[in-house]
Chain A
Amino acid sequence: MPDLSNPGPIGSLRSGWSAEVGDYAIDSAWSANGEVLVVGDAAGGVYAFEGRSGAERWGHAEVHERGLLALEMHPDGALFATAGQDGCVRIWGAADGEVRNVLDLGKGWAEKLAWSTDGRLLAASLSRAVYVFDLDGQQIWRSEDQPSTVSALAWAGPGELAIACYGRVSFIDVTSNTLLQRLEWKGSLVSMVLSPDGSIVACGSQDNSVHFWRRESGEDSAMHGYPGKPSALAFDGTGTLLATNGGPHATVWSFHGEGPEGTRPGVLKLHVEPITTVSFARRGRRLASGGRDGVVAVWDLQMDGDGEVVGAAVVEEVIAGLAWRPDGRGLAALDGGGGVTVWRVGS
């Protein structure tokens, strides 16, 4: 074999640091100002690394028995929540790794988490039900059982929660326990994302399509032609661009002007195996994509969704997740071998 050793990052990605967790890295998030990066793994461990150096600040192996499934940073960047196969949700301090609360939802997998934008409420799903807690860990609401396991959660506005499962997305005001809207589509909705103002709902479907609705009019459209299932979706900060996986190319739909109906999406070609994750930087039209091929690419996009690659790097394992540092000057990649790689990102 020729020497195929990693050539190092190119373009706007510059070497930063790398670290290891105990197992397949599942999810991660940066605390306020990028002070620490917290990472959860498939063995249920949770670890925090110094944002600048990558030194481990604290770590706890196998906290969630049988495995961790989700990790979500609180909007203020000081607290975060984890959920796992033990049926529990834990609320942690990012700086010290102290568990503030353990919420036992019951038998089953606690799988999805979402903090409300104002940071006052935390939604968590267990099988077919969704629970909402306040910051003291008091349960303030429980949904009725959905027709299938909840596949995604998102807050659409103050007190308004979106719940996706097989065949439908429901919008519920949890303070008054009122169903505000129900959008239906006969298909297995495997992912969901809302535009930042909550007006557009996009879902990836098991049948290799992306379905979206404009909430005000209830109009919906289906985007077909994906070679794989779009399991990762992301809106940019303005709600103009929707990036999707579903094959080796990232497809970006633009809601600018009349689109995306009747327009051609941007198709970003670089990966040689299916893309596993896409993530927009908090500001600007800068997208990062990661794939089964172990490649991480950074793209600068135009208003029409097309764009060019401005930086790339290779790690040896499947990319499991990407997290932009809040200032957009750092990017963390998690991989299936338990590796955590952080690059500095130039302009």
Chain B
Amino acid sequence: MSIKRVCINLGLVLCLAGLIAWCVLTGKAYDIVLENTPTTVAGAEQPALEAVHVIIDKQEPVLMLEGDRIISTAIGVKHKIRIDVLDEDDKVLESRSHTYTIHDLGTPPTLNIPAVFAASKAEK
């Protein structure tokens, strides 16, 4: 087999490996536990939020009340979560967003909404 042919075959194998890696990294769906429960961040108590809309990537908003614990699905490794704090009339009081990778969340992947809210920046 000529060197040219070996190189072409090697290139094809690498392309295929790259394609597989892309499929797995961007297509794998993870179940994430979202919990709106009180927590402690760096010694400071973070109370549960009364009512929030949680939006992961471009998915439909999920309404979470104080003490709620639900399972959501996120596709891929890197995600952006947006938390909209709602008032009594379900109007958005404040929005904050946070970017995370699935590996930051531990096993099983869990996102504590008050902790994320405290750590994230307010959206303009």
Whether A and B are associated in the same complex: the answer reads no
Which residues of B pack against A, CB within 8 Å? none
